[in-house]
Structure 1
């Protein structure tokens, strides 16, 4: 699939590991905890192949981020600028149009889940302020090193607790005959079914613009450790993280199917309400002793996503400004880059809080706007990412091979079709 050097061993490889886990942490949020589990809860195992196919078709574009960074010692934003400033500003438009809303959404879901599961006597907005303040403190004081350590702990906690819950659920489910979900197939043709399917595919495991996040984290890890990763190291790190996102997506679909599909409940529309039902059904199916385990899995899922997103958008915003000024992949660890990152962190966090404080009944419309913008732009972002990683300044041996390019074009075509379908559905409704 690619032509790169053999994997080195020892301390240099350990120094390269980390950005893949950050990408995994950013991915396993609402798309996994809510959408994957809901897919299993409402449709059994029917949509499991759809989840796997979505992960496969997005793989090339998300992998191109660390591939480009390792091959060129630049972040992907610089690669976009090399295509023409129009490509950089296109990515910047999508980022600015979605960053405040996306951070507000994941913060609110995390806060709502914390309040519900931990019994915190405060409003969702007050808890959201606390969650975001904790993220800011970790990022501002710990820099990349603090983020890297926190994510490794959270992802390990999330993975162990989720897989343990799945093993327990498998032991409680001797009869698989009712889990195929084939009886729910006609429901996918309804407006609600189409909307859910499009959202599941569009956000699974994470939008394609996260390729730029991975490239920035790869460069930051290199600056932090003093070790520039080889192509083999960067790709191994990414693949470990990506495999983790796929395994967890499958685990949440199966948990939903095993413990919720036959419950007969009308599932809540909101992410927080559904998550609360999820914990209650898990506890009733596995035993009340399992409630802390499921609570840890749910909270670590959402907090790790919030922390990763709270870091990614400021990092991207600072890199866009730097690339627009002709910068050459300055990291947030550098003196000037650190100042730009902190300013961007304050701006993005303040914007997210303003959305939470003043959006009110318009919050749903803001989410619809961000979702639509992301869907419409996804094929364009995928296309410029493909062009960047195959550009003439990228060493030939580091460019994707024929098999990966074929998969990328298949993903680009399917992404365009899903975006058009999403636009058509939104216009029809």
Structure 2
């Protein structure tokens, strides 16, 4: 759940990248599967790191989280510097910048390709071309800038909007992935049970999130 190190919709985006690699480098099935498994394992490990950093550094620090982008970044760097040591200030700032820079490139390309593929399916075309990818990537970047501009100085509201979108859409993306895989490949009993358990978890977590948002647990 959540976004770090990757949101659930990246299951579709990684498929788009694999498809592009097959066309460009003639990637084999085993190579694609290895790439997926490594990415999944690394994402799971990084998720634990992000969770740990949030729990041990931010949560319970006694500091009120800044809700303005620039102030929040400065606060974040100060928090980690206070934990690791003053010597790490520039390193923390550099790592934070590279994380966001990499995320920006990844999202722009990934969402651009996904949008282009959706458009291809709607129009019934055989394949997408580079011009379509460029257009939809530009569209994704422009849309992101519009959202950021709209929420300027309202980091809390933007995070709330993003959280609601992520938690509500997660079980939908999960179901779409599950349905697509079942349509093209017979799953083992164990994998099928694991998939259903994952869907129940996603749906249950989304319901708990909405219930908490509605104040039912307060």
| Same-fold call, TM cutoff 0.5 | yes
CA 1:286/1:202 → structure 2, altered by over 3 Å: closer, same or farther?
closer
Q: Are 1:418 and 2:210 matched, yes or no?
A: no
The answer to whether the 8 Å contact 2:58/2:79 transfers is yes
- Aligned-residue offset at 1:377: 2.9
Pick aligned residue for 1:266 from 49, 52, 63:
63
- How many residues matched? 215
| 1:354-411, Cα deviation, whole Å (9 max, x unpaired) | 33334557775565445324422322221121111111xx2x5xx4322222111111
Question: Are 2:22 and 1:222 aligned?
Answer: yes
Q: Distance in 2 between matches of 1:314 and 1:371?
A: 21
* Structure ID, larger Rg: 1
CA distance, structure 1, for counterparts of residue 199 and residue 149 of structure 2: 37
* Cα distance change, pair 324–249 in 1 and its aligned pair in 2 (3 A): same
Tell me which of 358, 363, 386 is aligned to 2:178: 386
CA-atom RMSD in angstroms: 2.9
- CA deviation digits over 1:229-250, x for unaligned, max 9? 21x3222111212222222233
- What are structure 1's unaligned runs of at least 5 residues? 1-200, 332-336
The runs of at least 4 consecutive aligned structure 1 residues that moved more than 6 Å come to none
What is the alpha-carbon distance in structure 1 between the residues aligned to residue 91 and residue 102 of structure 2? 16
Q: Is the 8 A contact 1:279 1:294 kept in 2?
A: yes
| 1:311 and 1:345 in contact (8 A); partners too | yes
Please report the TM-score for the alignment, with normalisation by the length of structure 2.
0.81
Change beyond 3 A, Cα 1:385–1:221: same
> Paired residue for 1:334?
none
Contact 2:174 2:199 in 1 (8 A): yes
**Structure 2 CA distance for aligned equivalents of residues 410 and 342 of structure 1:** 38
- Measure the CA separation in 2 of the matches of 1:344 and 1:223: 20
Aligned to 2:103: 305
Structure 2 counterparts to residues 235-384 of structure 1, below 5 A:
235-255=33-53, 264-270=61-67, 273-328=71-126, 330-331=127-128, 337-360=129-152, 365=157, 368-384=160-176
Q: Distance in 1 between matches of 2:7 and 2:146?
A: 24
Q: Distance in 1 between matches of 2:213 and 2:38?
A: 36
Deviations 1:226-272 (A, max 9, x none): x1321x3222111212222222233344445666678x541424465
Which structure's relative contact order is higher, taking Cα pairs within 8 Å and 6+ residues apart? 1
Instruction: State whether residues 66 and 75 of structure 2, in contact with CA within 8 Å, keep that contact through their aligned partners in structure 1.
Output: no
Question: Normalized against structure 1, the TM-score is what?
Answer: 0.44
- Contact 2:171–2:203 (8 Å) recurs in 1: yes
> What is the CA–CA distance in structure 1 between the aligned matches of 2:107 and 2:125, rounded to whole Å?
23
Q: Secondary structure at the match of 2:101?
A: helix
